[in-house]
Every structure is written in structure tokens, then in C-alpha cells.
């Protein structure tokens, strides 16, 4: 059987809706772990719709198909969707998905979804809105309907090797991490914690895999049971009577960690060192799919469970007995009550914050990885400029990306790119998450802007950098826009702020120079970056959008600073570095007795001054740029002495500009 067309895929899904008496079906981007990036076999929304961006939700009704996505992907979705089949809905412009369902679906409609791919938080949010229109959300059991459309062509689930991330890079033992988690469980007086986020599992157990391309994680869950001794139990905590022993299927306990820990993944793909390491500290391993039945059978009704609704899927919630997911009475189509009940602590996982606050070993690893990464990027940019401008070499976006990836692969501790390289020329640079292919790519020339956003996964850190350049004569419009982008970057990097400040409070600094002339960009300004983990990491962020999960910026956190500007079908530009949050003033130095924080830059690739209108920069901004370029030369010149082309390029690009 040949590949199905967009129309055929949707038609087959509609046939399944009719067979199951459903009026619509939701297809989120996420997998069972609420991952931003998913394994190929879990890319259901991309398969169904043809839209390959990382964010968006498809809604297929009996007579229409809609794709909701955010501003990063408006242009890309418009290009990839079959307009005869799909209608693009722009988040932030069109009504939200849950409100839209109430407008297009009649009262009494039943909207199906796969309970493994919808989080508890998303379910609760949508249900609260659609119920006003007498619309029900119904979990569809027995398999994902998109998988049924996909059939035998669907890729097999991944089974990458799972290996130890050594403590020499991680900076903390697994037992120490477990101790900290159990201490938080004790503070909150909970008996169990279910860890669903793949990067949290990998960080907690000092393990890595490659089930999801560019993300060193593996499909898994971790369940932690806090072991209580009778002498330490609070009077009102549940009795230990009826608990399985620490040698049961809930895992063996370590007296130091005070917990029984079970990793749910397929043990046959784990390296011997990983197996022996977990065995040594008493972590039990059970099959991935066993988690659902075990949660249902192992946890007593009186025990408290810590869950993070935004990272916990509805099937896990059902196994735990979350009240709002229990089977309805008298045939109603969804919910018998709102909420979670007293059994559940609804709170962000402490692991997310622990992971975000990098320890000294991780911070030093990140600094070192970014220096090596800068060597690769500078070599790439230098050779690109030489080949295009001096040698007349013809190169397209895809070939340029391949060049950069190959140069990164030469660096010590390199594992893989951290995301698909965004290599975009001219109008393609306006597509924020553009990805060239051999079949669809544009020449890179000196006649137009070239934007390259890329990163690497190294054993000691993860990198993410964007540079925009013009090898010819940029227009005054392009130079003005880029200057405003760089001014916003400088303002944010130089910020000093009190403890408790969130990224949302700082976001305006990156936009204010664009705002002064009525310009803006349709994406967040910054995201956390993992340490040999996901390139997008929370809970810290810098964005104009409020998020209930956002954490205040703290020393040890990583954050990107990446303002940009995009004119559809014309050009795009972005300047991105990775920053570390650092202490600037302690309590004794401030009037309000609070510590104040700032940023440390760790990305070392020069800005293209040919894209600047220097007369727009004040002396402080000029001095910042000169100091930045001097710091780059100091770090990179010794590492580029074996490459005359790259060394000469670096010296040209870092020539100081005049300070008035």
C-alpha cells in the first residue's frame, strides 16, 4: 500500500469516529510523558496533519479538520498543511481550542482522546470549558485511533541503549538525588511520587538514552515509595500496615535514601553498567507497560500521592484513581466530579527545580562545552564566508547545516546535535523553526540574510546558539531591525534583579527597542537548557506569556536570551546566547535585605557588525560589544591557531568599534 494522502488519513480517522460514536477526536503533539519532542512512532499529529512543528493540536470532526499552533509556526504550518483538508487556527489570535470546540460542535457531542497522550492539566482545563456547551471528553481505550490509521507503516517503538551518565559529569550521585526527593516527600507528607517526565527520570538516575532524536532520554517512568519507620510516623499519616515490603515489586529500599524506587522501562536495552549501578542502590526495574497495573494495585486508598498534572497523562491518573477521571454514572460521557481530591498533592515535581539548579560540576561542564562548541561554530562561519565570497562555492541551506553538524562532531565529548539545525536563508529565515531538507532548500548566498540556529549534546553540557549574518550589503531596514534585536539582547543580559524575579518580569527588556517602532517577535525570549539533557528545559523561562509552572530565576539556572525579528516572506533574524543566573549582590549589600542576581554569558561567537547601524548604539552598548568580542578572542584564539582561515575570520569579526 502506498502512502496515504492528507485527505485519506483524515477520512480513515472519520470512519473510526463513526464506528465509535464519536463526534470529534483530539490529537495532541505530546507523547505519554508530555514531551515537547517525541519519538517517530509517537509523532501522531505530524503523521495525521503533515505539520511537523513541535507544538500544536489537531481536532478532527465529522466534517472538518483543524490544526492549532502558536506564533513560532504560523508560516510553517501554512506551508505544510493541505489547505483542502486542514484549517489553520492561530493561537493567540483565534479562540482557544476548548472555546472553539464549543462553537463548532453541537450540544451533546462526544470528543474522544487517547488517555496516554493528554495530560491531566489539559483534560481539566478543556473539560471546564466544553462542559458549558454540553460537550463531553471521552477517553478512547484499546489503542490510539491515529495508530490504527497509520497501521503497519507506523515505526516501531524505540529501544535505544540506556547508559550511565558518570558522576564526573553529573556532579551528584543517584543516592544523593533520591535523598533530596524523599526529603521533599517527607515535608509534604506524601507516600508516593510518580515521575513521568523523561528528562526528570534521566537526571534522577544519572542515565541517558536516545529514544527521542536529539534528546538523550529513554521511555520510562519512575515510581518512588517513601519508606516510613513506625517510630518516625506522624500520628495522622497512614499506617504502614498493608504496604508491600521493600523487596516486593515496588522495588528494594536503601536505608540512606529511605525509599523504594522502581524504574519502568525495558531492561533488555540497558547496558550492564546501568543495570549493576541500579542494582547496587536498590532500584528495581520492571517492564514499561507494567506501571499502569502496578499503580492501581500497589497504592492503598489512604496513601497520598504527589503528581504534577501538566506532566502526568490521564491513563496514569486513572490508574491512581484521580476522581475526575473515574467512570461516569448513568451513561454520561465524561466526568462525575471536578478535581483531584485530598489524596493527591498537586504540585510541580521537586525534581524539575533540582535539575534546573545546576551544581558546580555541571556549571563548569556547561562552560567548557560552550567553548568547544564556539570553536565549531566559528570554524563553520569562517569557512562559509571564505567559500561563498572568495571561492565562489555554491552551497544550499541543507549542505550548510551538514557542514556545521560535522564540525561539531569533531569536538571532545560530542554525542549528537541538540536539535535539528535551523539553517535558513532569505525568506526562509522568517520561518522561526525552519528545517531544510535535501529536496526543499534554498541557496545560501552573499545577497541575503543567513540565520543559523544550532546546538550540540556533549557529555558535559548542552548548547544552543543562533547567529544571523549578511555576507553582502544588508539593507538599512535589515540593519535597523538587527540593531534593535541586539540592543534588546544587551539590555536583558545586563539586567540585575532581586530574588523572586521571574523571566516574565524581564521579558520586556528584550523587546523594548523593537516595541519603540511597533515591532515584536512571536516567540518566547528564553528557555532553560539541560546539562546533557533536553535543550528546552523548565521550569524557568523568559516569555511575555504567563505560565502557572514558571519558577523564579535562581543562581545555577541556565537560560537562553534570544530576541529576534521576522518579516514574513522577506527575512528573519535572531541573536541567541546561553546565560547562567549568578549572584550579584548579597543581602548585606542591598537596601531591602534581599540578594540580587544577574547573568553570566557562556556563548562565545561574535555578532556580525555588518548588520549593525552603529549610530543607533550608545556608548554603553558599544563598550559591551567590544568587551564581548575581546572575551571571545581571549578564549578562542588559542584554540583556532591550527586553522588560519578561522583565526583570521575571528580577528576580523572582533575588531573593536569606536566608542564616542
CATH code for position 648: 3.90.230.10
- Strand 305-307 versus strand 192-195 pairing type: parallel
Last residue of a domain, which of 354, 369, 391?
A: 354
Task: Give the 3-state secondary structure of residue 489.
Answer: helix
Task: State percent of the chain over pLDDT 90.
Answer: 88
Assigned C-alpha cell, 388 = 561563498
Cell of 27: 490529537
Is the bond preceding 128 in cis, omega lying within 30 degrees of 0? no
Q: What is the pLDDT of residues 368-377, one digit of tens each?
A: 999 999 999 9
Do the domain assignments include residue 659?
A: no
Backbone angles phi, psi at 472, to 5 degrees: -120, -125
Mean pLDDT of 359-388: 99
d(CA 613, CA 84): 45
238, three cell numbers:
497512614
Q: Which helix (H) or strand (E) holds 572?
A: strand 571-574
348 plus 374 within the same structural domain: no
- Kindly state whether residues 47 and 186 are assigned to the same domain: no
* Structure confidence at residue 271 (pLDDT): 98
**209, 121: one domain:** no
Report residue 260: phi and psi, to 5°: -115, 125
346 and 362 inside one domain: no
Mean local confidence (pLDDT), 418-435: 96
So what's the pLDDT on residue 72?
87
> How would residue 338 be classed by pLDDT, with cut points 50, 70 and 90?
low
Other C-beta atoms closer than 10 Å to the C-beta of 83 total 9
Cα separation, 612 vs 481, whole angstroms: 9
> Quick check: 93 and 69 in contact, CB under 8 A?
no
- The stretch 284-308 carries a mean pLDDT of 95
C-alpha cell at 15: 470512519
Those residues with Cβ within 8 angstroms of residue 319's Cβ, 6 or more apart along the chain or in another chain: 291, 292, 293, 295, 296
pLDDT at 233: 37
- By CB neighbour count within 10 A (0-12 exposed, 13-18 middle, 19+ buried), where does 56 fall? buried
| 410 in a structural domain | yes
Helix boundaries (H) for 474-567 = 476-493, 503-515
Kindly report the average pLDDT of the chain as a whole number: 92
- How many C-alpha atoms does 603 have within 13 Å on its Cβ side? 29
Based on the domain organization, do 269 and 368 belong to the same domain?
no
Cell match 490529537: residue? 27
Whether residue 394 is found in the same domain as residue 525: yes
Strand 24-28 relative to strand 110-113, pairing: parallel
489: its cell numbers: 539582547
- With respect to residue 259, please indicate whether it lies within any of the assigned structural domains: yes
Q: Is pLDDT above 50 for 329?
A: no
> Which three cell numbers mark 423?
539553517
Kindly state whether residues 371 and 254 are assigned to the same domain: no
Per-residue pLDDT averaged across 367-395, rounded?
98
CA nearest 654: which of 626, 635, 634?
626
Rounded Cα–Cα distance for residues 436 and 424 (Å): 7
318 pLDDT higher than 80: yes
Are residues 79 and 181 located together in one domain of the fold? no
Query: Taking the model in full, what pTM does it have?
Result: 0.92
Instruction: Please calculate the CA angle 457-159-434 and round it to the nearest 5 degrees.
Output: 45
Residue 2 predicted with pLDDT over 80: no
- 632-659 pLDDT, tens per residue? 999 999 999 999 999 999 999 999 999 9
- Concatenating the DSSP letter of every residue in 165-224 gives --HHHH-S-HHHHHHHHHHHHHHHT-SEEEE--HHHHHHHHTEE--SBTTB---S-EEEE
Nine-digit cell at 431? Answer: 520561518
Residue whose C-alpha is closest to residue 294's, from 240, 356, 244, 339:
244
Q: What is the CATH number of the domain that holds 318?
A: 3.40.350.10
Q: Quick one: 409 and 518 in the same domain? A: yes
pLDDT over 90 at 228, yes or no: no
Asked if 60 and 185 sit in the same domain, the reply is no
Considering 314, 333, 354, which residue would you say is the last residue of a domain? 354
Does residue 158 sit within a domain?
no
pLDDT of residue 381: 99
Instruction: Tell me: do 85 and 204 sit in the same domain.
Output: no
Does 447 reside within a domain? Answer: yes
Residues 530 and 452 in one domain: yes
Residues of the domain holding 329: 163-354
Mean pLDDT value of segment 113-136 = 94
Q: Residue 235: pLDDT above 70?
A: no
**C-beta atoms surrounding 82 within 10 Å:** 15
**Among candidates 230, 263, 239, which has minimal Cα distance to 249?**
263
* Grid cell locating 561: 536570551
- Distance from C-alpha of 525 to C-alpha of 512, rounded to nearest angstrom: 12
Largest CA distance in the chain: 80
Angle formed by the axes of helices 644-653 and 360-389, nearest 10°? 100
How far from 111 is each of 9, 59, 178, 334, CA to CA, in Å? 18, 9, 40, 10
Instruction: In whole angstroms, give the CA distance from residue 27 to residue 15.
Output: 16
pLDDT (mean) for 190-208: 98
Where residue 248 falls among pLDDT bands split at 50, 70, 90?
A: very low
Query: Which of 304, 320, 354 is the C-terminal boundary of a domain?
Result: 354
pLDDT band at residue 247 using 50, 70 and 90 as cut-offs: very low
Kindly state whether residue 660 falls inside one of the protein's structural domains: no
Nearest to 33 by CA among 223, 196, 193: 196
How many domains does the structure of the chain reveal? 3
What are the cell numbers at 302?
489512604
The answer, yes or no, to whether residue 232 has pLDDT greater than 50, is: no
Packing angle of the helix pair 476-493, 619-636 (nearest 10 deg): 80
Confidence band of 336 (pLDDT split at 50, 70, 90):
very low
Residue 504 belongs to a domain: yes
CB 260 within 8 A of CB 224: yes
Assess if residue 1 is contained within a domain: no
Residue 537's pLDDT is what? 97
Predicted pLDDT of residue 549: 84
Secondary structure letter of residue 203 according to DSSP: H
Amino acid at each position: 500500500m502506498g502512502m496515504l494522502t492528507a485527505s485519506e488519513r483524515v477520512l480513515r480517522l472519520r470512519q473510526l469516529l463513526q464506528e465509535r460514536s464519536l463526534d470529534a477526536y483530539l490529537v495532541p503533539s505530546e507523547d505519554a510523558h508530555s514531551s515537547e519532542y517525541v519519538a517517530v512512532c509517537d509523532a501522531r499529529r505530524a503523521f495525521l496533519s503533515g505539520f511537523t512543528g513541535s507544538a500544536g493540536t489537531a481536532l478532527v470532526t465529522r466534517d472538518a479538520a483543524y490544526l492549532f499552533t502558536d506564533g513560532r509556526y504560523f508560516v510553517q504550518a501554512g506551508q505544510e498543511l493541505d489547505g483542502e483538508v486542514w484549517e489553520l487556527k492561530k493561537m493567540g489570535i483565534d479562540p482557544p481550542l476548548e472555546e472553539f470546540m464549543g462553537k463548532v460542535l453541537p450540544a451533546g457531542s462526544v470528543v474522544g482522546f487517547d488517555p496516554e497522550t493528554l495530560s491531566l492539566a489539559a483534560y481539566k482545563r478543556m473539560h471546564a470549558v466544553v462542559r458549558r456547551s454540553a460537550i463531553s471528553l471521552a477517553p478512547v481505550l484499546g489503542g490510539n485511533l491515529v495508530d490504527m490509521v497509520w497501521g503497519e507503516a507506523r515505526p516501531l517503538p524505540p529501544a535505544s541503549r540506556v547508559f550511565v551518565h558518570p558522576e564526573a559529569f553529573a556532579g551528584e550521585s543517584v543516592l544523593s538525588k533520591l535523598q533530596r526527593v524523599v526529603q521533599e516527600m517527607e515535608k509534604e507528607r506524601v507516600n508516593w511520587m510518580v515521575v513521568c517526565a523523561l528528562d526528570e527520570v534521566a537526571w534522577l538516575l544519572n542515565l541517558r538514552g536516545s529514544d527521542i532524536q536529539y534528546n538523550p532520554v529513554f521511555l520510562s517512568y519512575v515510581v518512588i515509595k517513601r519508606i516510613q519507620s513506625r517510630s518516625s510516623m506522624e500520628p495522622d499519616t497512614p499506617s504502614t500496615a498493608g504496604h508491600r515490603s521493600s523487596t516486593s515489586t515496588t522495588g528494594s529500599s536503601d536505608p540512606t535514601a529511605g525509599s523504594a524506587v522502581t524504574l519502568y522501562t525495558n531492561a533488555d536495552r540497558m547496558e550492564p553498567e546501568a543495570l549493576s549501578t541500579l542494582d547496587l542502590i536498590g532500584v528495581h526495574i520492571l517492564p514499561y507497560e507494567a506501571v499502569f497495573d502496578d499503580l492501581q494495585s500497589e497504592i492503598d486508598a489512604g496513601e497520598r500521592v504527589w503528581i504534577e498534572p501538566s506532566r502526568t497523562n490521564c491513563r496514569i491518573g486513572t490508574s491512581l484513581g484521580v476522581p475526575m477521571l473515574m467512570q461516569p454514572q448513568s451513561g454520561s460521557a465524561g466526568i462525575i466530579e471536578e478535581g483531584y481530591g485530598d489524596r493527591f498533592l498537586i504540585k510541580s515535581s521537586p525534581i524539575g527545580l533540582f535539575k534546573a539548579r545546576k551544581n558546580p560540576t555541571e556549571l563548569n561542564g556547561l562552560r567548557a562545552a560552550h567553548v568547544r562548541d564556539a570553536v565549531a561554530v566559528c570554524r563553520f562561519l569562517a569557512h562559509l564566508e571564505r567559500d561563498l565570497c572568495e571561492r565562489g562555492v555554491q552551497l544550499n541551506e541543507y549542505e550548510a547545516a551538514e557542514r556545521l553538524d560535522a564540525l561539531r562532531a569533531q569536538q571532545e565529548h560530542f554525542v549528537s546535535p541538540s536539535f535539528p539545525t535551523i539553517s535558513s536563508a532569505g525568506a526562509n529565515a522568517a520561518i522561526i523553526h525552519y528545517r531544510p531538507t535535501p529536496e526543499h532548500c534554498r541557496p545560501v548566498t552573499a545577497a541575503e540574510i543567513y540565520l543559523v540556529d544550532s546546538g550540540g549534546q556533549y557529555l558535559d553540557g548542552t548548547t544552543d546558539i543562533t547567529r544571523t549574518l549578511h555576507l553582502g550589503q544588508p539593507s538599512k531596514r535589515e540593519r535597523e531591525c538587527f540593531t534593535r534585536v541586539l540592543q534588546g539582547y544587551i539590555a536583558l543580559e545586563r539586567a540585575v534583579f532581586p530574588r523572586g524575579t521571574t523571566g516574565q518580569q524581564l521579558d520586556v527588556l528584550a523587546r523594548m527597542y523593537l516595541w519603540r517602532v511597533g515591532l515584536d517577535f512571536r516567540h518566547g525570549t528564553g528557555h532553560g537548557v539541560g546539562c546533557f539533557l533536553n535543550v528546552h528545559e523548565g521550569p524557568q523561562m523568559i516569555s511575555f506569556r504567563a505560565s502557572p509552572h514558571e519558577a523564579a530565576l535562581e543562581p545555577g539556572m541556565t537560560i537562553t536570551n534570544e530576541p529576534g525579528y521576522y518579516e514574513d516572506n522577506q527575512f528573519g533574524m535572531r541573536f541567541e546566547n546561553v546565560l547562567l543566573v549568578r549572584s550579584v549582590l548579597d543581602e548585606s549589600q542591598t537596601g531591602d535585605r534581599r540578594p540580587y542576581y544577574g547573568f553570566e554569558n557562556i556563548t562565545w561567537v561574535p555578532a556580525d557588525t555588518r548588520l549593525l547601524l552603529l549610530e543607533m548604539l550608545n556608548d554603553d552598548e558599544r563598550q559591551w560589544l567590544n568587551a564581548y568580542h575581546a572575551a571571545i578572542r581571549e578564549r578562542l584564539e588559542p584554540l583556532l591557531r591550527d586553522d588560519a582561515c578561522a583565526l583570521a575570520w575571528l580577528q576580523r569579526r572582533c575588531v573593536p568599534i569606536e566608542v564616542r
